[in-house]
Structure 1
């Protein structure tokens, strides 16, 4: 007899990991629904919204097709198509690298920035729901989710994320601690996407 599916109600009834996976799948559905609703309203695709949001907040050196493809776990071709469409909508422009003419950084123009500030709010309902949890529960949930992401990184299911557990400056000294910033990362201080991240050497 083969392995029972995680999505079988009978399996879930007796298996906690299956219920956790099913719950995460429902949450991913909520994320997709919110993203599609925003995309439809502004005549964009979900990935175009994600690209606009990324470009709104990340430094120039990270605003490349290669970085976007790695960040969103998509092919360069998929990201390039999204970028081309956003160019055609006059939301962004490309800037050639002074050292490598084959490489470009992406820059939002005025209208693109305005749209990005509107569409990035698609996740507000999720943010508001999480905010209703106690501070302790928020911190616990953050740590557990980051542990799941870390394990998926290790299994190469998704690309390595620039978060504490993958960083060479992270240590478990009296809990979670950053040696670079010299700060405790306890009580919700762990970072999913850190600007001073340095990949830990294996």
Structure 2
């Protein structure tokens, strides 16, 4: 006999991990709803909004199809299709990479930057809901979610994540975890999910 489904109400009633998994699914649904609402409003697909938002904030060396595919856990073909559509809308252009002549970096055009600044706030309702909790509770939640992400990464469910637990600079001392690169304590609220000084463990 197989395992009882996480999504069975009877299973959830007696199993806390099942309740948490279902709660996370509801949050992912909320994220998708917000993304689709924004996409519909501006005539874009959800992944196109995510690509525009990424290009607005990340450095040139990361603005490639390969980096986007890894970041969003999607195939290069899917990302390439989204990029091609955004090119046709005159939102971005490809330019030869300065560090790798075989690759191209993606650059937002004026109209693309303007639309990116409009759509990047699609998750604001979720942020407001989180911000309503006390700071200490936010820190606890952040650490728990990062531990879950880390475990899923170790199981190869999702790609490598540029966060503290995977980083060469993450260390533990008598006063708790800290970042050797930034010289700061990494107690809960200071943890980073996506860090600009991230360096993968050797």
Q: Distance in 1 between matches of 2:91 and 2:72?
A: 20
- Consecutive unaligned residues of structure 1, counting only runs of 5 or more, are none
Aligned counterpart, 1:83: 83
Report how many aligned residue pairs link the two structures: 201
Task: Give the secondary-structure state (helix, strand or coil) at the position aligned to 1:74.
Answer: coil
Shift of 1:168: 1.0
- Deviation per CA, 1:158-186, whole angstroms, max 9, x where unpaired? 00100000001101222220011111122
Specify whether residues 26 and 99 from structure 1 end up closer, same or farther in structure 2 by C-alpha distance, changes over 3 A only. Answer: closer
Q: Which residue in the other structure is 2:167 paired with?
A: 167
The 1-side partners of 2:199 and 2:101 are apart by 27
Which residue is 2:15 aligned to?
15
Aligned partners of 1:176 and 1:190 also within 8 Å: no
Q: TM-score, normalised by structure 2?
A: 0.97
Deviations 1:43-79 (A, max 9, x none): 0000000000000000000000000000000000000
Q: What's the CA shift for 1:101?
A: 3.8
- For structure 2, list consecutive stretches of 5 or more residues without a partner in the other structure: none
1:194 — aligned with what?
195
TM-score normalised according to structure 1 size: 0.97
RMSD (CA atoms):
0.9
Are positions 1:93 and 2:93 aligned together? yes
Secondary structure in structure 2 of the residue aligned to 1:105: strand
Structure 1 runs, 4 residues or longer, greater than 6 Å off:
none
Q: Is the 8 A contact 2:142 2:188 kept in 1?
A: no
Q: Does 1:151 align with 2:151?
A: yes
Q: How does 1:1-202 map to 2 (within 5 A)?
A: 1-98=1-98, 100-173=100-173, 174-201=175-202
Cα distance in 2, alignment partners of residues 145 and 66 from structure 1: 26
Name the CA distance, whole Å, in 1 between partners of 2:100 and 2:178: 38
Distance 1:177 1:92, change over 3 A: same
Q: Tell me the distance in 1 between the aligned counterparts of 2:95 and 2:40.
A: 29
Distance 1:53 1:2, change over 3 A: same
Q: Output the CA distance in 2 between the equivalents of 1:58 and 1:99.
A: 16
